[in-house]
């Protein structure tokens, strides 16, 4: 038994090193892929042939990297792009722009963007949820509750809206009567 113990420890150590090595390699490959995509999009955007989709994708990558002010610039360019015609696509861009503003704690601007998204696509659940969040951050609890209840009207199983609306109902005496 005593002679097998060091072998067991060594085996466990090797397995742990292999597993952690696999996770590290996977993360490095993922990061490289993202950086390559980012670089390609930045080149396209610098050129004259960039599309609204290019600006939107670049803005999304910048949001993922938490570069919110840079993302705002790219998302605004996407909205101004002449090839952005479909209402659904515009709503996606407005929602992403609202998210970028909310991440910078510019809730008034975020609310405006979410409302623009909802004017194009009234049943856009993600924008409604985000609108509720922004209202909460502005301490506009009644409006936040309305937004979350609208989410539940379109998606009755939405966990975020259920949780937030229950919390807001407890805080708002008018809502419970």
The per-residue pLDDT for 175 is 46
Euclidean distance between CA atoms 13 and 21, whole angstroms? 12
Share of the chain above pLDDT 90, in %: 72
pLDDT in tens, 75-123: 999 999 888 878 778 999 999 999 999 999 999 999 999 999 999 999 9
Residue 106 per-residue DSSP state: -
Q: Which H or E run contains 155?
A: none
pLDDT averaged over every residue in the chain = 91
The per-residue pLDDT for 35 is 87
HSE, side-chain direction, 13 A CA sphere, residue 25: 6
pLDDT band at 177; cut points 50, 70, 90: very low
Instruction: Using the predicted structure, report yes or no on whether residue 157 has a pLDDT greater than 60.
Output: yes
pLDDT in tens, 44-79: 888 878 889 999 999 999 999 999 999 999 999 999
User: If you average pLDDT over residues 141-170, what whole number do you get?
Assistant: 93
Instruction: Using the predicted structure, report yes or no on whether residue 127 has a pLDDT greater than 80.
Output: yes
The per-residue pLDDT for 176 is 44
What's the whole-model pTM score? 0.80
Helix, strand, or coil here: 84? coil
Instruction: Using the predicted structure, report yes or no on whether residue 168 has a pLDDT greater than 80.
Output: yes
Q: Are 41 and 51 in contact (CB under 8 A)?
A: no
The per-residue pLDDT for 1 is 57
Any idea what the Cα angle at residue 47 is, between residues 46 and 51, rounded to 5°? 95
The count of other CB atoms within 10 Å of the CB of residue 41 is 22
The per-residue pLDDT for 174 is 59
Taking the CA atoms of the chain, what radius of gyration do you get in angstroms? 23
Helix, strand, or coil here: 7? helix
Q: Are 138 and 108 in contact (CB under 8 A)?
A: yes
């Amino acid at each position: 038994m005593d002679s097998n113990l060091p072998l067991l420890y060594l085996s466990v150590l090797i397995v742990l090193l292999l597993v952690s090595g696999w996770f590290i390699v996977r993360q490095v490959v993922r990061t490289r892929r993202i950086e390559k995509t980012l670089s390609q999009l930045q080149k396209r955007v610098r050129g004259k042939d960039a599309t609204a989709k290019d600006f939107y994708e670049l803005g999304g990558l910048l949001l993922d990297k938490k570069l919110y002010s840079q993302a705002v610039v790219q998302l605004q360019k996407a909205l101004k792009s002449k090839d952005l015609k479909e209402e659904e696509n515009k709503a996606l861009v407005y929602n992403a722009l609202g998210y970028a503003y909310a991440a910078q704690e510019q809730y008034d601007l975020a609310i405006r963007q979410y409302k623009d998204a909802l004017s194009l696509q009234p049943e856009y659940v993600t924008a409604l949820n985000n609108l509720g969040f922004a209202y909460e951050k502005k301490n506009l609890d009644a409006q936040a509750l309305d937004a979350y209840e609208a989410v539940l009207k379109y998606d009755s199983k939405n966990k975020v809206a259920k949780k937030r609306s229950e919390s807001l109902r407890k805080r708002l005496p008018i809502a419970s009567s």
